[in-house]
Amino acid sequence: MSWLFLSQILVAFFGLASLIITARALGPAAVGILALVDAYVQILDRLFRLEPWQAVIKYGSEALAQDDTSRFRHLVKLSVVIDILGGLLAGTIALLLAPTLAPLIGLPEGIGASYISLVAIGLFLSLRPTGIAVLRIFDRFDVLAISDMVIAGLRFVGIVIAYMLSLDIWAFLALMLMHQILTGLVAFFLAVNELRKRSLQAFMKLKLSQAFSDNPGFLRFLWNSNFNVILRQSTQRLDVIVAGAMLDVTAVGFYQVGKRIMTNVVRLGAPIRQVLYPEMTRLWASAEFEKFWRLVRYVTFAMFGVSLIVSLPLAWKMPEIAVLLFGPEFREAAPVMTILMFAAVLYLGALVLNPALLSMGLDSALVRTTFVSTCIFAISFLPLLYWLGIEGIALTHVLFNLVWTLGCILSIRAYLARNK
């Protein structure tokens, strides 16, 4: 836990510092272009590549608990194949659609497709989900944390150099590509090294069919766990795309600084979620229900209370904070930053609900909850955009997180009522 907190604090710091320097180097319009490119690439990545790490943790932990190393190695092979095929599909589609979609989402005519094509190369080189699964199963959160800190630090150093040399937007796009490639490969090679230490590295020669027969329900769990993430993260990216298509890149730049701050605030809760999932899975599987629910209550009240106490004074001074961090051009971003900060408060308060539902085997209920929340997000998006502009888009995130939280709570209550 200490490694994860240190990692996320430093990664959040590097992320915020990188955003500040990028904003001061390029201005709101260029920040908007970077946001649109990143959103395009990440949306296609999420839509066309299933991440197997949650399924591998679930079934791999069971295999190791039974001392079935053959079953575990088959799972690793299956995970690698899923990563490779998903990366090929997502990368190919991203490149093919770039010339058509770039101008439609607000990127400059002609050159916008080139911006996308450069960054989309990184989609072909992502084996991170397999790396995450292996390292987390063996409790090597320290290795994963250190690698994430180093990668974020390298990007920050690159951005500082680009700023000092007064480089243009291409340098920042290249740094985005570098970050994506390192993120996609470093964790995997660290995981392979961990497998080698445990004499589990010879997995690529195994048959895939055995992995499916040894792990019934793997594909269902893979789909359900990813469908929930696809819905949730698509809303986190699609809003930028729609804002670019309907507003201008300067407005997108204002919106992006608010979103990036929200992302870095939420990042501080990621270590808790990462540690909670395997721990809660063990508690539920061993029928230690009292400890399970005590953990749920403690984390919920602690996260919501602390984040709310911190957020209230920041909201009061947000215009001054926006100017101080990003410069006078970004004063108009203050309302968006405030709204998205409170969306982050809701997200952090409900942080424990996702691993709780997965640990209880309620992955289908989690998917339904996220689907309903996404529908409400989509229905409210355009009316709020027309009514309030980028502030309206920010409010849709508050609405999504609120509906999602209530839906998860109702799903848990319904399960408990059925199993009294």
Mean pLDDT of 399-418: 91
For the chain, how far is it from start to end, CA to CA, in angstroms? 34
Query: Mind listing the pLDDT tens digit for each residue in 264-318?
Result: 777 777 777 777 887 888 888 888 888 889 988 898 988 888 888 988 888 888 9
Mean pLDDT of 127-134: 92
The type of residue at 418 is R
Q: Which of 93-97, 215-219, 337-341, 380-384 has the lowest mean pLDDT?
A: 215-219
- Residue 378's pLDDT is 86
Band of residue 8 on the pLDDT scale cut at 50, 70, 90 = confident
Report CA torsion sign: 257, 263, 267, 268.
Answer: positive
Question: Considering the chain, what is the average pLDDT of its residues?
Answer: 88
For residue 170, pLDDT over 90 is answered with: yes
Report CA torsion sign: 343, 344, 348, 349.
Answer: negative
DSSP, res 248: -
Percentage of the chain exceeding pLDDT 70: 96
Question: DSSP string spanning 69-114?
Answer: HHHHHHHHHHHHHHHHHHHHHHHHHHHHHHHHHTGGGTPPTTHHHH
Q: Which residues of 229-247 are buried (b: 16+ CB within 10 A; e: fewer)?
A: bbbbebbbbbbbbbbbebb
Band of residue 211 on the pLDDT scale cut at 50, 70, 90 = confident
For residue 120, pLDDT over 80 is answered with: yes
- Residue 12's pLDDT is 83
Mean pLDDT of 115-119: 96
Tokens coding 148: 């994430």
For residue 1, pLDDT over 70 is answered with: no
Neighbours of 150 (CB within 10 A): 14
Report CA torsion sign: 108, 103, 23, 147.
Answer: negative
For residue 420, pLDDT over 70 is answered with: no
Tokens coding 146: 């250190």
More confident residue, 230 or 157: 157
Classify residue 179 as exposed, middle or buried by CB count within 10 Å of its CB (0-12, 13-18, 19+). buried
Greatest CA separation for the chain: 66
Mean pLDDT of 389-399: 92
DSSP, res 352: T
Query: Mind listing the pLDDT tens digit for each residue in 244-262?
Result: 888 889 899 999 888 888 8
Percentage of the chain exceeding pLDDT 90: 43
Band of residue 232 on the pLDDT scale cut at 50, 70, 90 = low
> How far apart (Å, rounded) are the C-alpha atoms in residues 228 and 365?
10
Contact in structure between 220 and 361 (CB atoms under 8 Å) = no
Mean pLDDT of 139-165: 93
The residues, any chain, with a CB within 8 Å of residue 26's CB and separated by 6 or more, are 34, 169, 172
- Residue 236's pLDDT is 67
Neighbours of 139 (CB within 10 A): 10
- Residue 154's pLDDT is 96
Band of residue 410 on the pLDDT scale cut at 50, 70, 90 = very high
For residue 234, pLDDT over 70 is answered with: no
**Comparing C-alpha atoms, which of 408, 394, 269, 409 is closest to residue 343?**
394
- Residue 366's pLDDT is 87
- Residue 235's pLDDT is 65
Query: Mind listing the pLDDT tens digit for each residue in 25-44?
Result: 999 999 999 999 999 999 99
Classify residue 68 as exposed, middle or buried by CB count within 10 Å of its CB (0-12, 13-18, 19+). middle
